[in-house]
Structure 1
Amino acid sequence: MRVTIHQPEHLPWLGLLAKVAASDLWIILDSVPYRKNYFQNRNRVLVNGQPTWLTVPVTAPFGTLIRDVRMCEVPSWRRRYRGRLIQAVSGTRSADRVGDLLSVIDAAPPGGLLADLNLDLADYLLSQFDVKVPMVRSSELHATGTKSELIVNLCRAVGADEYLAGPSGRDYLDLDVFAEHGVTVRFFDFDHPTYAQGRDPFVPCLSAFDAWSRLTPAELPPLLSGYRLRDV
């Protein structure tokens, strides 16, 4: 069984959706410390042709695990967030469907867990790209260790014999640890597709929301097929 292990990003980009789609199981890495000013509580969309951050304010003292990070109900954040999302989708073919995505935001309880919101949004986007891969949270698996040891123990906890790593894994993974436990490591290199975006030049690495808003349902799944699996 092939697994990928990745933190729960907010409104994930196409590369993460593609890596999940290429796996048999997504282990959601929520048992490690939250990383400030990264993609766990924000992502970019195009607003009036410009890359713009959509951000969820959070309460996360240093060392807080991702599973414990809560949304911070600062005044009007939901109104601002909704406004930017509506602006981003304005004039696209999915403008009349943005209510489905907004309902996911609205359903998140005040002060609720950020990981819950992120996974609800990921579920929605994955379904739009016709990806049906089961998920399990690392916090449910009770694996121990750090870095490569933790990843190997998570693979062993679910009976995986292959780990699908991102390209940056080449810089930090200890492949000998995986080999000792019979887990093959393969590296996932994603070739970002281009599509009609309404601007020039094309802006890559936005939230997958951008592609969802501009393309037909039938055009979405092929966007995830442009990748290569490498052993080194």
Structure 2
Amino acid sequence: MITAIMQPTYLPWIGYFDLIDLVDEFAFLDDAQVLKRSWGVRNRIVSQNGETFLTVPLSGHSQSSTSTFVGTAIDSGDKWRKTHLTTIRHAYGKAPYFAEVFPQLETLMSAGHTTIGAFNIDFISTTAALMGITTPLHKTSALKGVDGRKDDRLLAICKAMGADRYLAAQGSAAYIERDQESGAFAGSGVELLYHNFAHPEYPQLNDGFISHMSIVDLLMNCGYAQALDIIRSGRRPMLTSAQLKEQLA
């Protein structure tokens, strides 16, 4: 069984959903630390001014090890929600699938989530289901006996889930591969593989194509029914540690 483990980011890019779609079981690392100005609290859309950031304000946030996705409160006011929805409306009001997608965003924004983890997980889970992704989703905060740091903890989570293969985002190689090839996964009985994704192009309202935007951009331009096929078109064979090292050389 292959699994992936990711922090629940805000309005993620399309590669995040390809990772979910690829695996047998997926876990949100919702007990990880939330960092200000990270993808956990912000993402980008394409507006008339080009790339535009949407950032969620956190309530009483201090950047400590206890500031986790599951425990960090969102600003309880409606101002940021209205601002994000207004910005999205102005950016995509003329997009082909605005009428299909925008009401879903309004519903999620008004659902009364109190933590950043709860909102992000609800958005990701709902969006994945609407696109036709059926991968079972879990939360690491609900698992027991998965202590440790970085790749040691990822390995413990894989074992707790019964996985024999772990599909990692390429960005995690910076700490997994730091001390030895495959890090804690070497000789562990859990094979480490890396996600390999070539960002596909799709119609946008702007001239040219801007990649790595929030999935909101794809959904507004192409709709839920077409989105998963477009995402899957960017899929490439998974990489071993050695293959990733060679590719990045």
Same fold (TM over 0.5): yes
Question: Is 1:227 the counterpart of 2:230 in the alignment?
Answer: no
State the partner residue of 2:139: 137
| Structure with greater strand percent | 1
The whole-number CA distance in structure 2 between the counterparts of 1:94 and 1:205 is 19
Aligned twin of 1:115: 117
**CA offset digits 1:78-107 (Å, max 9, x no partner):** 221221121122101122121122111111
Number of aligned residue pairs: 230
**Cα distance, 1:213 vs structure 2:** 0.5
Amino acid at match of 1:107: A
One-letter amino acid matched to 2:141: S
**Deviation readout 1:36-84 (Å, 9 max, x if unpaired):** 1011111111122521112211122121122111101356222212211
Report the counterpart of residue 8 of structure 1 in structure 2: 8
SS in 2 for 1:227: coil
The match for 1:208 is 215
Partner of residue 161 from structure 2, selected from 126, 143, 158: 158
Q: Quick one: distance in 2 between partners of 1:105 and 1:33?
A: 23
Task: Decide which moves more: 217-226 or 181-190.
Answer: 217-226
Q: Structure 1 residues 143-152 or 86-95, which shifts more?
A: 86-95
Is the Cα contact below 8 Å between 2:95 and 2:205 reproduced in 1?
A: no
Equivalent of 1:172 in 172, 175, 181: 175
Structure 2 unaligned spans of 5+: 242-249
Q: What is the alpha-carbon root mean square deviation over aligned residues?
A: 1.6
Structure 1 runs not aligned, ≥5 long: none
Distance in 2 of aligned mates of 1:126 and 1:23: 13
Whole-angstrom CA distance in 1 between matches of 2:132 and 2:157: 26
Alignment of 1:55-204 (within 5 A): 55-59=55-59, 60-63=61-64, 64-74=67-77, 76-97=79-100, 98-109=102-113, 112-142=114-144, 143-174=146-177, 175-204=182-211
Q: Is 1:13–1:205's contact at 8 Å kept on the other side of the alignment? A: yes
Q: What CA distance in whole angstroms lies between the structure 2 residues aligned with 1:141 and 1:217?
A: 32
Contact 2:151 2:183 in 1 (8 A): no
Query: Partners in 2 of 1:73 and 1:216 — Cα distance?
Result: 30
| Residue pair 1:57, 1:73 contacting (<8 A) in 2 also | no
3-state SS of paired residue (2:166)? strand
Query: In 2, are the aligned partners of 1:101 and 1:124 still within 8 Å (CA)?
Result: no
Q: Is the 8 A contact 1:14 1:207 kept in 2?
A: yes
Q: Which deviates more, 172-181 or 139-148?
A: 172-181
Task: Provide the rounded CA distance (Å) in 2 between the counterparts of 1:115 and 1:168.
Answer: 21
Cα pair distance change 1:114/1:166, threshold 3 Å = same
Q: TM-score, normalised by structure 1?
A: 0.93
Structure 1 residue 129, shift from structure 2 partner = 2.3
Q: Contact 1:34/1:65 (CA < 8 Å) preserved in 2?
A: yes
Could you tell me how far 1:176 is from its partner in structure 2?
4.9
TM-score (norm 2): 0.87
Contact 2:48 2:206 in 1 (8 A): no
Q: CA-to-partner distance for each residue in 1:149-202, whole Å, 9 max, x for gaps?
A: 100000011100000011123332152521332000111111001011022221
> What SS is found at the alignment partner of 2:23?
coil
184-193 vs 119-128, which moves further: 119-128
Q: How many percent of aligned residue pairs carry the same amino acid?
A: 25
* Contact persistence 2:15–2:197 (CA under 8 A): yes
